[in-house]
Amino acid sequence: MSYQTILARAADDLDQIVDDLDLAARLAPRDERMAITARALQAHDMATRLREWASGAKGMRGRRGVVILDELAAFGRLREMIKKGGAKHGG
C-alpha cells in the first residue's frame, strides 16, 4: 500500500468526520454550534490538503516532511476531541 493510498483513505475518514460534525452542529445547543462548525471547517480543509498530497500536487512536494506530521497530529487531536465530545454528550 502506498502512502498516497493511505493519505486518500485518511481524507475519506475526515469527510465522514465532517458529516458527523455537521450533524452535531445542527443538534447542538446554540452556544456550541460555532465551535463545532469551526472544527468541521478545519477537518474539511485538512481533508482537502491530504487529497492534494495524495495526488502529488506540486505545491505540497516541498513541504511534505514536517507539515504532513503536523497534519496527522492535528487529525489525531481532532479524533480525540470528537471522542471526548461524543462521550460528554452521550452519543
What is the distance between the alpha carbons of residues 45 and 40, in angstroms, rounded to a whole number?
9
**Proportion of the chain above pLDDT 70, given as a percent:** 67
Low-confidence residues in the chain, pLDDT < 50: 87-91
Read off the C-alpha cell for 3: 502512502
Rounded to whole angstroms, the Cα distance separating 12 from 48 reads 10
Distance of alpha carbon 24 from alpha carbon 47, whole angstroms: 19
**What pLDDT, on a 0 to 100 scale, did the predictor assign at position 29?**
94
Tens-digit pLDDT profile for residues 54-64: 887 655 555 55
Query: Are the C-beta atoms of residues 25 and 6 closer than 8 Å to each other?
Result: no
pTM of the model: 0.61
Report pLDDT for 63.
55
Residues 6+ apart with CB under 8 A from 39: 21, 78, 81, 82
